[in-house]
Each structure stands twice: as C-alpha cells, then as structure tokens.
Structure 1
Amino acid sequence: MQLNKQTVLITGASRGLGAAIAEAFANEGANVIINYFKSKQKAEELVERLGDNAIAVQADIRDKNQVDEMVDRAVSHFGTPLSTVINNALVDFRFDPGAQKNAAELEWDNFQTQIEGTVKGSLNAVQAGLAYMKELGFGRIINIGTNLLQNPVVAYHEYTTGKAALLGFTRNMAKELGQYGITVNMVSGGLLKETDASSVTTGEVFGMVELVTPLQKATSPQELADAVLFFASPWARAVTGQNLVVDGGLVMD
C-alpha cells in the first residue's frame, strides 16, 4: 500500500520524535492519528499545521479501552481502516544523566512504569488495529527502540530494559502476523538532537556522542522519521522482524 493510502496511528505524537513522524507521514499524504496523553495544546497545534488529513485524539496507551475508543473514533473520522501503527510513546521518562538512579537506588516501580508504557502500550495499539489490518490483508507496525541496547552510553536502566522487551515483542509479532500481510519492525535511534525528552541532556553528553559517531553529529528526529517511512513504504514489503539502528553509525550491528 502506498503511503498516501495509509491511515497511521502514532502514539505520543504531540511533540518531539512523534511529531516529526506525524509530519513525515502527513507530507506523504497519509491520514495521521496524533495520539497524546497530556499535551493537548501541542497536539492541536500540530493538527492545525498538518491540515485535514490529521486528527488529535487523547488516550492513555496503557488503558486498552481508551486505545480502542481512540482508534474507532479516528477510523470513523477518516472513513478508512487503520493500516499502520507507530509505537512511539514514552511514559514519564527524560534523558537526564544527572537525575538517573543508580543500581542501588532503583526500585521495581521504575522498571514497571517503562515496561507498561512501552510493551503494554504497544500491545494495546497493535490489538486495536489488528482486525482492520487483517481485513486489508496489509499492515505496518513500527516500534521505536534505542541504540542503548547495544551501547549504553548512559545506564538508563529502566528505559533500556523496556526497549529490550519491545525488541522481543517486535520479533514475536513479526513471526505470528506475517501470514496476514503485516510486517513488524523496529527503528532504534541514538540520542536525538533534540526532543523534549533529551532537552535536559547535557552538552557534555552530546559532545561525547558526536565525537565517537562516524557522521560526527547527533541524529535529528526528522532523520529518524525518514527511516520509519521506509518501513511503512512498499520498498520494505519483504522486511519484517528487523531492528534498524539510525544513529549516524555510532552502533554498527
């Protein structure tokens, strides 16, 4: 399915990377569902910028009923089935190395928050779209990961653990859903310059990353969004279960 025929749900899309992904799909002519939890004003401003092929819908991705209602409302609004899910939402986390708890300070609740936001939220979004994708005989599920799995420059314990679980989720879903024409992949960025979540990252950390990155720069949200477009496009029709690292070559896996 061409990008301009797709109806795309992007979780956590009101700002940062999610907003960049929403803009990328809208620029290709896709119908875009901008999910937000708290950032209503930013989500509405983004819809105003993108125009008639975008709608903002509030939902806590950890709540299955809210996610189902969001998808049903958006599908009714556009009059087209959901074809594409981008699991991008980040729940209660910022990339602040100074505030990160160390191994002695961590509590299970820190991990639970990230696992629920990352894996449970993704499961809810996939299940909300699955019947539509099976009906179409086509689906694209793209999960947002991190290169910290391969290279934990900063030990963001709970965040990285949640994303590691998401990689397992990606590959298991790819195995099961391929029979329905649905591909499931992951795009893993490095430290993005910049998003709301990385705005508290120190210049020292950015400088360290840029120094050892072959392209000598931090990846932008727009550059990562382009890789997401690839996985949703017809050019990636034979690719599933993969994790593409988009970080300027810092991690070569």
Structure 2
Amino acid sequence: GRRMKLTYELIHVDLPLLIGSAFLLAVTIWDGIFSFPEALLCLAGIILYLLYTINTRKKYENIEIKKGPNEEVKQGRKLDWKTLVILAVSAFFIYLGAKYTVESVIKLSEIFNIGKEIIAISAVALGTSLPELMVTIAAAKKGKPEMAVGNILGSNIFNALAVMGIPALIGTLIIPHSILTFGLPMMLIATLLYFFITHDKEVTKWEGWLLVIFYVFFIGKLFSLF
C-alpha cells in the first residue's frame, strides 16, 4: 500500500519533542490551573524549539552538494515580490476560512445547546486545523512527506507550548473538569499512538486510517453518540 517515508530528524528530534510538549502540558494543567510560571516554562520550551529549528535549517543550508561530472548544480530560486504577494493572499484566505468555519459551527452548536468546552475541543479545533490539513494533504500529494509530517509535529508542539503559554501571561487559565477527565487523556493517547505509528520511519495507508478512526471515536464519545 501507499506509505510515507520519514526523515531521521523528524523521528529522532521532532517526534520526541512532540511527546515532551504534550506531557509537559499535561503536568502543568493537571491541577486545573495554568499559572504564569507554568506559562513561562512552556514559552521557554517553544523558544528552545524555534532556536533548534533555525539552527538545523542553517546546518542543512551549509551542506555542500557534490556534483558528478555530468551533473549541474541547481541554483536556489530567489524570493521575489510575487511569491510574497501569493503568500500574503493565501494567509489571508486561510485566516478567513478558519474564522468563518469556527463562527458557523459555534452558532450551530449554540442552537443545539452544546457546552462551550465541547465546542472548543471539537468545532474550534476543527476550524483552526483545516488550513493545516490542506497544507499537509498538498505536501503528501507532491511526494514531500517530511513537509506533511513536519507540519503536524511543529503545529502540535507550538499549540501545546505557545498557544497555551501566551494567554496565560495575561491571566491564570482555569481548565474545565471535562477537559482534564476526557480531552487531556485522549490527547495523550493520540500522541502515543502517533509515536508508535511513526517510530519505524514510515506511515502506511492503514495506519493513516487507524488515526482517522481514532478521531471519529473521539468525536463520537465527546457527543455521547456511542
């Protein structure tokens, strides 16, 4: 079946960092309170991760490509204004798409009298993840699994450390009981499942379906469908 091959860096660096960020988040919110010192700890983690990412990129940029007698060295394309405009326009429409998706689903949820934490853990998460899903699918179709998986790992690390850490600098966050008893355990299980699926440096088609089935199970339990 179809499968995605993963690089050493993703498996031995980014994947452990994903697990570490997930469990760090779990430890800091376990008491139902996410305080200012805990926010600083998470932000320190994301700063270290960003510094590592920048350093790794520089390391690969400095690697000289050896060329054979009949090979030509490909010159990197320079960043021009057209690329910047396309990037800016794409980012704008991604923002609009996620914004209106979240607003529409929230309104529907309010009509059906669904709790805010359930909205956040399902509708908001889905809406904000749709752009990432599109980027990941596009990367996979172009035969760039490292970009697809790297997007997933980097996004989740950033969410666990920065998206939680920055708001807590303004004020202490109170974590709802339902998040602690259901959302958090499910996140940890999903993280471990992802680890065991990818630790052999590839993701097969049936493993992808396993992750989709797990998410369907998560949504079903969340809305008490089974």
Fold shared, TM-score > 0.5 on shorter chain: no
TM-score by length of 2: 0.36
Whichever structure has more helix as a proportion of its residues is 2
TM-score by length of 1: 0.33
Higher relative contact order (CA 8 A, sep 6+): 2
Whichever structure has more strand as a proportion of its residues is 1
The structure with the larger Rg is: 2
